[in-house]
Structure 1
């Protein structure tokens, strides 16, 4: 999602974004995208997958993300353009490979609204058990789609309130959680890392870590503020790395505390396993507070993520990558891409037929493809194209991104066979579609507009 601002420079008549953001502001922006409560999206699922070792899985994911964030930082300094992973891959490896990377990212964009709709249904149904989850899912899809059609897509102020509420919730959860443990007798402080024995071995930790990659979606959003940052080639890369490490540490601490509060993987409903944690930490009060904060965040995220992907599809239709007559049209009345928005709403109906674990893994699949591509882009750009040599260059532009690539590849192969199969099918469809629009690769590869 682009960050737009109307600030202009005083000199001359040209409109230019004001360079006013330092590292702290950029880091905060990145943390806003990496919503702290996202750890509870797949908390129950990952707890069962890892045998009660969610913090251990987050440590593995964070390790991979630190190397990857560093690669994003290198590329953001070298190529301060919008488009992130797609742009870096396209400019490093050429239009064809860039198209495939963008196609993988498109999978993320399509599935992100779906995750929000699904968790809205799960948690509201848990709060109001007399109403089926599908009722809430359909209502949310209908409401958000209508709002996006008529053009109500600016939720910046609401998002600030939502983030503030989540920050207050985290402090409350920590206080009540620690209080509940002090009167609970003996607490095994090592349990969140040693596990409960239900899923032994390191492979289960890797499987959980692969799912948790979705928690780190958005750390690279800092790169979209390059035109508003002071000394962007220095501040933006630093902010990307700091936001990633800070967000990862928050995830580790929260999940560690959650597993101490509720040291079990026996949930009333694994998809809403976080509710069992809240009940153990603070009873009905904390459960209601969590549900309100979490559902509000999911609604805001659904609104912005559907608006973003609708405009990506519109841009691709306008540029002829997708059928222009359908995707490349704006409503004369609302001046919004109505057909593209409705298309995203229809795709989101899959939330009625698939489970949370599958959707989460599919988002992680697309993210890991992008992360791998950025790590390789550093090697291609600096070592091969720019011909950087010497010990420092080999370490900085070959060894470290190489480690990042190996870690992301390891996480990618730790996803479930079902996810890998469907993900590979999606990539093959992208290659087939590219062959179609380029008439058997005889025409230039179209550029994807993923700047939303």
Structure 2
């Protein structure tokens, strides 16, 4: 290894302090993929929440702001590629931390699968317009291979690409939203403001999908080695990504529901609502540009999901939970290349297999988007519980900190109740099949992950102490900042 590389790599072998604040923020924004929600996923939320769609976004944003406060109790004090996994180990111990790591891996990978489906949907639509017909599996493979290559090659390239793609897409959507609202005479939609026809159960189920829409806002925490001024830029990115995307989501939800008012087309059944509204507004070319932007945003999200999933896997391997090859960084690129390759492969295989069994990409998008939410909910609850425990050990726990922890957990219970439902309840009905079995599949997945941890713990009795020592050392390296 050259002297130059040695100077630029961290203790974990990753490129050290190479990402600016904007590039760190781009990581969180890209996993959220704000373009994809109004361009493709809003119909799924509207199908549950109806005129309360904007309220589902508001509730979700408020809940995740409380979660962000708890995450930042750790992010202001230490940083590592382990993301929330390292934080939860520090607050609640190794077992809770390992469960959170399994939850994070599932959350990021299934988000990547969902957005890979979106990439294929929009890719097919755009190619069909120019007379090119291709199989969805071809687009699955194309999106995955491109994302793998960029993630493997350079984290700075990844971050800059994600930043540019999202800025382009969001700008186009805001212009279209302004045009739609202008044509409606900047109308005040009383039906939405009074929640006409909306139910608490529908709004809470909408919050489940909203959490998916916001999910990944914390992913900048996986750039602990690679971010410049990590104790400043990472917490700032976590909070601002939740606030700004939340405002964007509420504005576009209000405008799109208003735009479909009086139309013969049902928003709940529309895969490309913004393209339809652009045609209705007489600016079809803008709809096409937004579709291109959505395609690029879906790709950016696939890339952005592979990056943090690979880094969590990378840290778990370095702690003895997986084969050591997954914990090695590339000598020249300074990226966790083996973990990236594995995450890319999984991201492709599962949606490709479902499609081979005849399930359409739009349906797979809904399935994987719902399942990934359980991983995020688990981790958000655990880190919110871990924060006051951690602060208490530091002797810095305040009543306000405890209140933020309780509020975050309570808000996260809304999508949990919406997901599980209450048998016989009209307000919180049990979701239809197969969504009603997804929570149990997630619990089975966690049980498998926990069992693997126990097996590794028996095989390597010193593993837990080494894991704790490794994470303690990371925190101790930042202790002079306090």
- Above 0.5 in TM-score? yes
Q: Which position in structure 1 is the counterpart of 2:479?
A: none
Does the C-alpha gap of structure 1 residues 238 and 195 become closer, same or farther in structure 2, counting only changes over 3 Å?
same
Cα deviation, residue 437, structure 1: 1.9
Equivalent-residue separation in structure 2 for 1:314 and 1:387 (angstroms) = 32
Equivalent-residue separation in structure 2 for 1:116 and 1:428 (angstroms) = 26
Gaps of 5+ in 1: 9-14
Equivalent-residue separation in structure 1 for 2:77 and 2:332 (angstroms) = 42
Does the C-alpha gap of structure 1 residues 140 and 401 become closer, same or farther in structure 2, counting only changes over 3 Å?
same
CA RMSD between the two structures: 4.1
Cα deviation, residue 347, structure 1: 3.1
Q: Which position in structure 1 is the counterpart of 2:413?
A: 409
Cα deviation, residue 333, structure 1: 13
Does the C-alpha gap of structure 1 residues 247 and 303 become closer, same or farther in structure 2, counting only changes over 3 Å?
closer
> 309-318 or 91-100, which moves further after superposition?
309-318
Equivalent-residue separation in structure 2 for 1:107 and 1:166 (angstroms) = 27
Contact 1:311 1:340 in 2 (8 A): no
Q: Which position in structure 1 is the counterpart of 2:167?
A: 164
Q: Which position in structure 2 is the counterpart of 1:261?
A: 259
Contact 1:69 1:241 in 2 (8 A): yes
Contact 2:137 2:352 in 1 (8 A): yes
Cα deviation, residue 45, structure 1: 0.6
Equivalent-residue separation in structure 1 for 2:6 and 2:453 (angstroms) = 37
Cα deviation, residue 39, structure 1: 2.1
Contact 2:115 2:365 in 1 (8 A): no
Contact 2:26 2:159 in 1 (8 A): no
Equivalent-residue separation in structure 2 for 1:281 and 1:7 (angstroms) = 55
Q: Which position in structure 2 is the counterpart of 1:65?
A: 64
Q: Which position in structure 2 is the counterpart of 1:12?
A: none
Does the C-alpha gap of structure 1 residues 118 and 32 become closer, same or farther in structure 2, counting only changes over 3 Å?
closer
Q: Which position in structure 1 is the counterpart of 2:55?
A: 56
Does the C-alpha gap of structure 1 residues 121 and 52 become closer, same or farther in structure 2, counting only changes over 3 Å?
farther
Cα deviation, residue 319, structure 1: 5.6
Does the C-alpha gap of structure 1 residues 25 and 357 become closer, same or farther in structure 2, counting only changes over 3 Å?
closer
Structure 1 segment 90-129 matched on structure 2, within 5 A: 90-127=89-126
Q: Which position in structure 2 is the counterpart of 1:37?
A: 35
Equivalent-residue separation in structure 2 for 1:129 and 1:190 (angstroms) = 39
Equivalent-residue separation in structure 1 for 2:129 and 2:20 (angstroms) = 51
Is structure 2 residue 421 aligned with structure 1 residue 421?
Answer: no
Q: Which position in structure 1 is the counterpart of 2:451?
A: 432
Does the C-alpha gap of structure 1 residues 226 and 190 become closer, same or farther in structure 2, counting only changes over 3 Å?
farther
Is structure 2 residue 238 aligned with structure 1 residue 240?
Answer: yes
Cα deviation, residue 64, structure 1: 0.5
Give CA-to-partner distance per residue, 1:328-379, whole Å, 9 cap, x none. 7999999943566434432342452453222111121111111111110112
Does the C-alpha gap of structure 1 residues 221 and 306 become closer, same or farther in structure 2, counting only changes over 3 Å?
closer
Equivalent-residue separation in structure 2 for 1:73 and 1:141 (angstroms) = 35
Cα deviation, residue 311, structure 1: 5.9
TM-score normalised by L of structure 1: 0.79
Equivalent-residue separation in structure 2 for 1:238 and 1:331 (angstroms) = 29
Contact 1:99 1:447 in 2 (8 A): no
Does the C-alpha gap of structure 1 residues 94 and 362 become closer, same or farther in structure 2, counting only changes over 3 Å?
same
Q: Which position in structure 2 is the counterpart of 1:137?
A: 136
Contact 1:44 1:274 in 2 (8 A): no
Contact 1:438 1:444 in 2 (8 A): yes
Say which of 351, 369, 374 aligns to 1:365.
Answer: 374
Give CA-to-partner distance per residue, 1:159-178, whole Å, 9 cap, x none. 34312321330232123212
Equivalent-residue separation in structure 2 for 1:60 and 1:118 (angstroms) = 27
Is structure 2 residue 395 aligned with structure 1 residue 397?
Answer: no
Equivalent-residue separation in structure 1 for 2:138 and 2:330 (angstroms) = 23
Say which of 194, 214, 225 aligns to 2:212.
Answer: 214
Q: Which position in structure 2 is the counterpart of 1:87?
A: 86
Contact 1:56 1:193 in 2 (8 A): no
Q: Which position in structure 2 is the counterpart of 1:342?
A: 345
Equivalent-residue separation in structure 1 for 2:178 and 2:222 (angstroms) = 36
Equivalent-residue separation in structure 2 for 1:181 and 1:253 (angstroms) = 15
Contact 1:120 1:137 in 2 (8 A): no
